[in-house]
Amino acid sequence: MARIKKGDLVEVITGRTQARGGDRGKQGRVLEVQVEKNRVLVEGINFVKKHVRVGQTQRGSKTGGIETVEASIHASNVALVDPESKKPTKVGFRLEEVTKDGVTKTVRVRYAKKSGKDL
């Protein structure tokens, strides 16, 4: 089970501080998780300039130029945000028995370690 999932609120815990033009300390929602590369795409974090070839649409308007887009960041550089304290926290897993339609099964549940609240 993954520690960080799409839609989670995370905070950048490494890199340059905001005063020096970096992203450390910023919070944002996870837009995409790249499991094979161990990277996450976070909304509003790690902007890069991308040069796109100039073209035309069907209506004749120009496209392309220099665009600012979000780039992925390594999963170890972000921490999940505790829903109660709004501060970064570690993630734990616990086994719970769930009964549904008369069938009992064991499932793993993520929780914020400091507060103990389910995520």
Tracing tokens 């073209």 back to the chain, one arrives at 55
% of residues, the chain, pLDDT over 90: 60
SS3 percent helix, strand, coil of the chain, rounded to 5, is: 5, 55, 40
CA distance 72 to 30: 10
CA distance 61 to 19: 39
pLDDT per position as a tens digit, 54-111: 888 888 788 888 999 999 999 999 999 988 888 999 989 999 999 988 899 999 998 8
Tracing tokens 């796109």 back to the chain, one arrives at 52
- Is the distance from CB of 105 to CB of 115 less than 8 angstroms? no
